[in-house]
Amino acid sequence: FLLRPAVDLLDDLVEDCLPAGMENFAVPSDGAEDAEYPTYRLIDGGYTEVTSAAFNLGKMQADCKEGKLDCTDGLRMIVFDHDLGLGLPPLFKRPGISPGEPTLFAGYAGAAFPGNLAPTSTIFEESYSDLMDWTTYISAADNNGTAARYWIGTLTTVANSWFNVVGGERVRVALFEPGQNALATDQTPEPQSSTGSLINRLTQKVEENLASSADAFLGDTQKPQVEVYAQPNELQE
């Protein structure tokens, strides 16, 4: 109880002071050392749209229109939500929120309450709560208390200019909620008995190796992205 005032003060400082210039560590999209308008810096998808489904849908529709993809059999998508149910709801219609409208709800999967202000990634006309007949493929008892499940069906797109999504198209969609955010592997059931101890030992070994060569993996660099990583791809350009 004596530490509570200090903890509250630190919480207030964190909320008021962050990112404290740390946003400058993000990689500029063009690989340059500095990012000035219209160049932008990359950001973790949890602060905007954690599944990347909205961006991918817009790109798929554009590629279909330009004839880069054969879409004669219709559009199909598979979307994984590893954030324990936080990633899928922003993709669906919500009362009082227009597709693309900047809201705190859009980035709540990656940012502390009440969320990070970002364009809402609504791409489907339907409501998330209206999705019925989910199929469970790992029980809650075998999955850290949250059942892993999936849903397959057809949804209707809504126009969202932020993500270049065209409205009024029907998309065959498979949605997966593994419910395994607490696991190191993210998508597989927690290992048991001897297998678990083996994986734990391997994980510890990898962590030790990474820590011993942190400079090589995570060290600072003044070189452009094109030299350190690779040439910018078509999407970045």
- Predicted confidence (pLDDT) per residue in 157-179, tens digit: 999 998 999 999 999 999 999 87
pTM above threshold 0.85? no
CA quadruple 173, 174, 178, 179: dihedral sign: positive
Whether pLDDT at 76 is above 50:
yes
What pLDDT is stored for residue 40 in this prediction? 66
pLDDT digits (tens, 9 = 90+) for 131-147: 999 999 888 888 778 88
Distance (Å, rounded) from C-alpha 194 to C-alpha 52?
Answer: 36
Closest of 222, 223, 225, 220 to residue 236, by C-alpha: 225
Instruction: Report percent pLDDT > 70 for the chain.
Output: 54
What pLDDT is stored for residue 142 in this prediction? 80
**Which strands make up the sheet holding 148-156, listed edge to edge?**
75-80, 170-177, 148-156, 135-138
Closest of 173, 192, 188, 61 to residue 126, by C-alpha: 173
Q: How many CB atoms sit inside 10 A of residue 26's CB? A: 14
Dmax (CA) for the chain in angstroms is: 67
SS3 content of the chain, % helix, strand, coil (to 5): 35, 15, 50
Distance (Å, rounded) from C-alpha 20 to C-alpha 33?
Answer: 19
What pLDDT is stored for residue 126 in this prediction? 96
Please tell me what DSSP assigns to residue 211: H
Residue with tokens 């936080």: 86
